[in-house]
Amino acid sequence: IRCQSTGTDEPKTKMNLFDNASNLLTDLLSGGKIGSMPIAEGAVTDLFDRPLFFSLYDWFLKYGSVYKLAFGPKAFVVVSDPIVARHIRRENAFSYDKGVLAEILEPIMGKGLIPADLDTWKQRRRVIAPGFHSSYLEAMAKVFTECAERTMLKFDKLIEQEESGGGKLIELDLETEFSNLALDIIGLGVFNYDFGSITKESPVIKAVYGTLFEAEHRSTFYIPYWNIPLARWLVPRQRKFQSDLKVINDCLDGLIQNAKETRQETDVEKLQQRDYLNLKDASLLRFLVDMRGVDVDDRQLRDDLMTMLIAGHETTAAVLTWAVFLLARHPVKMKKAQSEIDAVLGQGRTTFESLKKLEYLRLIVVESLRLYPQPPLLIRRSLSSDILPGGYNGDKNGYEIPAGTDVFLSVYNLHRSPYFWDKPNEFEPERFLVQKESQGIEGWAGFDPSRSPGALYPNEIISDFAFLPFGGGPRKCVGDQFALMESTIALAMLLQKFDVELKGSPEDVELVTGATIHTKTGLWCKLKKRSNV
């Protein structure tokens, strides 16, 4: 890699990677009122030796909560401050689009909510978000429980086989199991399709994983190689990707067709009366077709379903993976979680009602999302020039950014900020139970539940954008409650039946990122039946 500033080829050369000229211009334009943004200096190897968000964290501690970073011809502004996050996500949200993320995802998700242009997004969000209402979630609690039961049954059988050979426990990669479970759940919950991936393989499942793999690869690659002319026909991996996409698209088209052909007025009435528990198919697709009529555009529906399939699968599998990793490292907290499960569920199943009582488990899920946010970076591009407000620990005057600036909002940095969290790197679900008056920074009000009365989990409103487990503002995750319930149920059912330990040492669990944070070689665990069940 050639160093821009010195022209040398030294790989480890510390470089000033950034253009001071634009800072100077900003200063001149602003008459000196707006600060000049710190510029991060680092070795280029920092960008490739380990996940990018680790380097962004080190630079955050060194350069403050808003800084500029460039590699090659590209420059990014890295934001790790709640006030600036609130500005970008809520106050001035529509001055930003998804930039490079949309470029990566558009070939897969089309005009689905994540990459959609603003006009399409406004129209589709209005249609989709109401689908996640409480009656739907109640029906989903049943789906989550049944899918999690299938997973536990599989573990039970594996243990029985082991016992017949004289063994007592099984060793397996829980990350893969969670991935299968999340796929089955999203298939049933969003389009009433049973992938059955817990127990079998199929061409559709393979195509989904192939597509996820490509999406993941694209989000770690800085050059849009997929746009190279003819690449989709000539490059074998791109050809495979196109054929995977076709398999999924055909499957989704079939489901959409079927949903339209089987639309019945009696079901529409049940939907209108929110009588979800008596519906055979309570999926989101049913809602979208039944409530909107059959004239809804098939292509748009397919993009919507594909988006939810991808957005809701990897993220949930990742939160479960890291929750188990953290619990396995903290056996006392694991026991505490099991005591709560025993008290609330006994030997029974999880239900919509019992979920509300599994408070500690919910906090485990959100604390896992604090330490391992999914995704760790949120990407935006400014549509016009903007002035980022002064933050807590950056320049109090704020910074001007030109139109077209790529912004990385580092949720990882926010969630591990030493300015807002006690012992930021420690796993402490109990931290959310303590209402903090002040976290040591003047003006910082800490977690204030009165901001969001009745909230199911500590969220961006309660924390005034210091904690963004599901983003915030108009483009907040639509599936936050779905995901939280699903994760809580899966975790409850696992810990109700099994004691879980890591197979190796925690240091063996290497972490890699694409869109989400996952392990390099799986989360290998030992599972033993709990002695009291």
> Considering only residues 375-404, where is the footprint of ligand HEM by CB under 6 A?
378
Give the residue, chosen from 35, 471, 488, 492, that forms a contact with ligand HEM under the rule CB under 6 A: 471
Name the residue nearer to ligand HEM (CB basis): 113 or 271: 113
* Greatest extent of the chain over all pairs of C-alpha atoms, in Å: 79
CB contact at 8 A, 29 and 8: no
d(CA 58, CA 406): 20
Give the residue, chosen from 84, 407, 477, 500, that forms a contact with ligand HEM under the rule CB under 6 A: 477
d(CA 527, CA 533): 14
Name the residue nearer to ligand HEM (CB basis): 26 or 316: 316
Q: What share of the chain is helix, strand, coil (3-state, %, to 5)?
A: 55, 10, 35
Q: Is residue 477 annotated as involved in ligand binding?
A: yes
> Considering only residues 238-297, where is the footprint of ligand HEM by CB under 6 A?
none
| Choices 2-10, 153-161, 347-355, 468-476; region in contact with ligand HEM by CB under 6 A | 468-476
Name the residue nearer to ligand HEM (CB basis): 15 or 411: 411
State the sign of the Cα–Cα–Cα–Cα dihedral 199, 237, 300, 253: negative
Residue 207 CB, nearest approach to ligand HEM (Å): 19
Give the residue, chosen from 470, 493, 523, 527, that forms a contact with ligand HEM under the rule CB under 6 A: 470
CB contact at 8 A, 185 and 489: no
d(CA 184, CA 467): 29
Task: Residue 262: name the closest of 235, 243, 225, 289 by CA.
Answer: 289
CB contact at 8 A, 515 and 375: yes
Residue 311 near ligand HEM by CB under 6 A? yes
493 φ/ψ angles, rounded to the nearest 5 degrees: -75, -30
Name the residue nearer to ligand HEM (CB basis): 10 or 297: 297
Residue 204 near ligand HEM by CB under 6 A? no
Residue 374 CB, nearest approach to ligand HEM (Å): 4
Give the residue, chosen from 188, 204, 483, 491, that forms a contact with ligand HEM under the rule CB under 6 A: 483
Give the residue, chosen from 305, 479, 490, 491, that forms a contact with ligand HEM under the rule CB under 6 A: 479
For residues 96-131, one letter each, b for 16 or more C-beta atoms within 10 angstroms of the residue's C-beta and e for the rest, the string is: bbbbbbbebbbbbbbbbbbbbeeebbeebeebbeeb
Give the residue, chosen from 80, 151, 374, 382, that forms a contact with ligand HEM under the rule CB under 6 A: 374
The per-residue DSSP string of 215-237 comes to: HHHHHH-SS-GGGSTTHHHHSHH
> Considering only residues 113-142, where is the footprint of ligand HEM by CB under 6 A?
113-114, 125
Residue 521 CB, nearest approach to ligand HEM (Å): 22
Name the residue nearer to ligand HEM (CB basis): 68 or 313: 313
Residue 304 CB, nearest approach to ligand HEM (Å): 8
| Choices 162-170, 269-277, 309-317, 425-433; region in contact with ligand HEM by CB under 6 A | 309-317
Residue 418 CB, nearest approach to ligand HEM (Å): 22
Residue 308 near ligand HEM by CB under 6 A? yes
Helical spans, DSSP H, in 88-166: 100-109, 118-128, 134-164
Q: How many Å is the Cα radius of gyration of the chain?
A: 24
| Choices 10-18, 36-44, 322-330, 467-475; region in contact with ligand HEM by CB under 6 A | 467-475
What residues pair up with 513 in beta bridges, in sequence order?
517
Name the residue nearer to ligand HEM (CB basis): 100 or 477: 477
State the sign of the Cα–Cα–Cα–Cα dihedral 44, 46, 49, 51: negative
Q: How many helices (H) and strands (E) does the chain have?
A: 19, 14
Total chain residues near ligand HEM (CB under 6 A): 22
Name the residue nearer to ligand HEM (CB basis): 100 or 495: 100
Residue with nearest beta carbon to ligand HEM: 479
Name the residue nearer to ligand HEM (CB basis): 312 or 390: 312
d(CA 373, CA 321): 12
Q: Write out the binding residues for heme.
A: 477
Residues found near ligand HEM in the complex (CB under 6 A) = 113-114, 125, 190, 307-308, 311-312, 315-316, 319, 369, 374, 378, 470-471, 475, 477-479, 482-483
Q: Write out the binding residues.
A: 477
